[in-house]
Amino acid sequence: MYIRKRTFLAFAAGLAAATALSPVLAQDKAVTIYTAHKSSIVDTLLPIFEKETGLKAEVVKLGSGDIMKRVQAESAAPAADVIWSISGSSLTELAALLEPYTPPEFDKIDPQFIKDPAWTPYTAVVYVLAVNTDLQPLDTAPKTWAELADPQWKGKIASARADGSGSAMQQLQTVLTVFGDQGWDKYKEIAANFVFTDSSGAVPRFVADGETPMGLTLEDNALEYVHGGAPISIVHLTDGTAATPDGVALVKGGPNPDGGKKFIDWAMSKSTQETLATEIGRRSVRTDVAGPAGTPNLADMKLVTVKPLSEFGGSEAVLAKWRAAIGE
């Protein structure tokens, strides 16, 4: 678990002298944030947040599934103020533990990504196939989910585990959506070709290092390696690419709700969303922010509306079927 703590020295001294007549102001309290963002994104964005708002942040970095479990376990005495960047479907499952909040300029958010009043769409996450073109020529690489099921790719496709990665769960939901009644059968065929990694962020590293010639990951994870000079090309699967929102949400009963709201306001501001697109490669959910350089327009891709986990029986039922599908 990655934990990063920042606090004011003056705040510590102030606490010692505080009395009931001198309450601690919200801006003097750290905002506690649970996030599934990888460390490089946290390290890029948090200094900007702290500089622009004057607030300090305590960030706990976990996988999406672990964040859900932790928030549920802490529901009687919430420790987090904000959940930052886990899948929208996961946040919907946590809706009873979230406090609806509407940040400024909510009307600038693309309506297709607004799914539940309990949370705010944060970025549009696109799922892609990263291909090491030194090992696998792009012209003969699979271009569809159906082609990923071909036995010739056994041991050649890196993927994160759906029980630890929100993005891997979204990929599973995409397959179940694209293939309908045959979804679980098709996923089982595709998963037979997988080499599992400990996170979606590790997938492009596997591909760049040649441990596998291909891998399923987030578009921004793959772009990071492309921009770094790795021999990676990106395939947007033509039988159905998902562009799903991850979200940011206020935890109900958190210790610093005012600070949490300020964090959400900052995360959804035009300047932060532009930084996400230009420096991190994430697609903004705002209609007034362009996508990352060199990526196709969403309108030019075959996008599917991924069915929520509730339509498949909920996360626990899906994970039970997933474990059976991969032979565990």
Which CATH entry fits the domain spanning 2-122+245-284: 3.40.50.300, 3.30.70.1150, 3.40.190.10, 2.40.100.10? 3.40.190.10
125-242+298-325 CATH fold: D-Maltodextrin-Binding Protein; domain 2 (3.40.190)
Condensed to tens digits (0 to 9), the pLDDT of residues 118-134 reads 999 999 989 999 999 99
Helical axes 219-227 vs 202-209, angle rounded to 10°: 40
* Amino acid 27: pLDDT: 53
Annotate 111-173 with three-state secondary structure: HHHCCCCCCEEEEEEEEEEEEECCCCCHHHCCCCHHHHCCHHHCCCEEEECCCCCHHHHHHHH
* Amino acid 254: pLDDT: 98
Q: What is d(CA 144, CA 165) in angstroms, rounded to the nearest whole number? A: 22
Condensed to tens digits (0 to 9), the pLDDT of residues 185-227 reads 999 999 999 999 988 889 999 999 999 999 999 999 999 999 9
Domains 2-122+245-284 and 125-242+298-325 share a fold: yes
Q: Which residues of the chain have pLDDT under 70?
A: 1-28
Q: What is d(CA 171, CA 197) in angstroms, rounded to the nearest whole number? A: 14
269 HSE (CA, 13 A, CB side) = 15
Query: What stretch of H or E contains 246?
Result: strand 241-251
* Amino acid 188: pLDDT: 98
* Amino acid 89: pLDDT: 86
* Amino acid 118: pLDDT: 98
* Amino acid 28: pLDDT: 66
* Amino acid 166: pLDDT: 83
Domain boundaries along the sequence of the chain: 2-122+245-284, 125-242+298-325
